[in-house]
Amino acid sequence: MRKRRYDLAHIEAIVREVEAGATVEQVTRKHGISPATYFRWRKLVRADTVPSLLEITALREENSRLQVLVAQLTREIDALRTVLSVKP
């Protein structure tokens, strides 16, 4: 079975469905997740507020951008070392 990846907004929407009156069994069956996953998500949503979840998302995006930048600089440094090590 293919593993799905839900974003934070989708996770919050699933948790809100149960709070709106649907049963856990109905919601988990509808979205193809286990009840344990739902309860873990519920704990996450209740522990963190939406602004903090958005902050986590922003930090992850910045982290991936910085990783790309570090990789590019590392390649440039390696190229410069190669050029400087060549003796005519």
pLDDT of residue 87: 65
One domain, residues 73 and 84: yes
Q: Does 43 share its domain with 58? A: no
Q: How many structural domains are present in the chain?
A: 2
Q: What range does the domain containing 82 cover?
A: 50-88
Instruction: Convert the pLDDT of each residue in 38-62 to its tens digit.
Output: 999 988 887 666 667 778 888 999 9
Q: In the chain, which stretches have pLDDT less than 70?
A: 1-4, 47-51, 87-88
* Rounded-to-integer distance, Cα 35 and Cα 24, Å: 7
- Asked which of 17, 32, 47 is the last residue of a domain, the reply is 47
Claim to verify: residue 28 and residue 12 sit in the same structural domain: yes
What pLDDT shows up at residue 43?
87
Residues 61 and 36 both lie in one domain = no
Predicted local distance difference test score (pLDDT) of residue 80: 92
Q: What is the pTM of this model?
A: 0.51
